[in-house]
Amino acid sequence: MPEANYIYLGDTARLPYGSKSHETIARYAVSSAKFLQDQGAELLVIACNTATALALEDIQQAVPIPVIGVVQPGAQAALASSTKGETSGGKKSAILNEVLGAPGPDSGTWDGPPQLSPQTEVLVLATQATVQSHAYTRALRTLNLEAHEKACPLLVPLVEEGWINHPVTDEVLKIYLQEALTEAPKAQTLLLGCTHYPLLEPAIRRTLATLNHPLTIIDSAHATAQAVVAHLATKNPAEKASANRPTETAKNCTFYATDSIEKFERLGSAFLGQPVTRVRHIDLRE
């Protein structure tokens, strides 16, 4: 959505969230949400699976603006993949958009999830805290999908270290995926339940190929972006049209970090695919 104004906060001083307690994660996430609201945010996206899994309700109660997390969109994208696994290219994308924009369980027009085979399994890679919350198990179960959650506590530190293409990272992925596939051998969909993991997607694909077990990979972050478009389109149909005009540069972006601006600029550039500069340092005192 190139016409939108973006305010991004990276809580670099207190990461990783995935190894912390529920109470600590909720406290950190709420303070971040309030800061973004104070900067003028009108819609809040929780760009973190752990914060979504453990603090979504706390954040919704703390700020009076709409809040979108990454768990439910990721689960619905897995549903789209599972129900239309043999659908190709553009049609599959259209189906995914339809699913993400469709009425949910809280809607008065919700008719319930489609009836799927009980063998429909989704493998979820996530942080320890996200797995312990079982947020994806609950979200997928409402869609008649069975979740197999695998905690991967070493992956976020490896990404933060910049070891995206590194033999150590490949070996760690191999161990995690072997263990996960042993527990869920029938899984055909792999859901990346952490917004750090998309940077590892090429390495994950390589590892799955060496294990001779290809999977359809779902990026919960990408699904959330589509959910944001669908949300805004309900209020202004022009928003959906504008989102169909991709841009190579993110305009009107303001970046904040709670620590290590240099590291944020380096990793942010890798995530965004373009230079991230002029990051502002802030101190979120508790």
User: Which residue in the block uniquely carries the two structure tokens 């990461």?
Assistant: 15
Asked if 257 and 12 touch (Cβ cutoff 8 Å), the reply is: yes
Secondary structure of the chain: what % helix, strand, coil (to 5)?
50, 15, 35
In a domain? residue 99: no
- What are the E-state strand segments in 43-161? 44-45, 67-68, 121-126, 146-151
In a domain? residue 82: no
| Domain ranges, residue 210 | 112-221
In a domain? residue 128: yes
Residue 227 sits in the same domain as residue 214: no
Residue 193 sits in the same domain as residue 258: no
* CATH code of 213's domain: 3.40.50.1860
- Residue 30 pLDDT greater than 90, yes or no: yes
Strands 44-45 and 67-68: parallel
Band (pLDDT 50/70/90 cuts) for residue 225 is very high
Among 165, 224, 229, smallest CA distance to 192 is for 224
Residue 137 sits in the same domain as residue 36: no
Please tell me the total count of domains within the chain.
2
Distance (Å) of CA 276 to CA 215, 247, 259, 262, 265: 32, 15, 15, 10, 5
**Model pLDDT for residues 162-177, shown as the tens digit of each residue:** 899 999 999 999 999 9
Residue 135 sits in the same domain as residue 157: yes
Entry pTM: 0.81
Asked if 122 and 147 touch (Cβ cutoff 8 Å), the reply is: yes
Residue 136 sits in the same domain as residue 214: yes
**Model pLDDT for residues 41-72, shown as the tens digit of each residue:** 999 999 999 999 999 999 999 999 999 999 99
In a domain? residue 93: no
Residue 214 sits in the same domain as residue 253: no
Q: In the listed set 179, 199, 221, which residue is the last one of a domain according to the structure?
A: 221
Catalytic residue positions, numbered? 48, 194
In a domain? residue 170: yes
Among 220, 183, 182, smallest CA distance to 201 is for 220
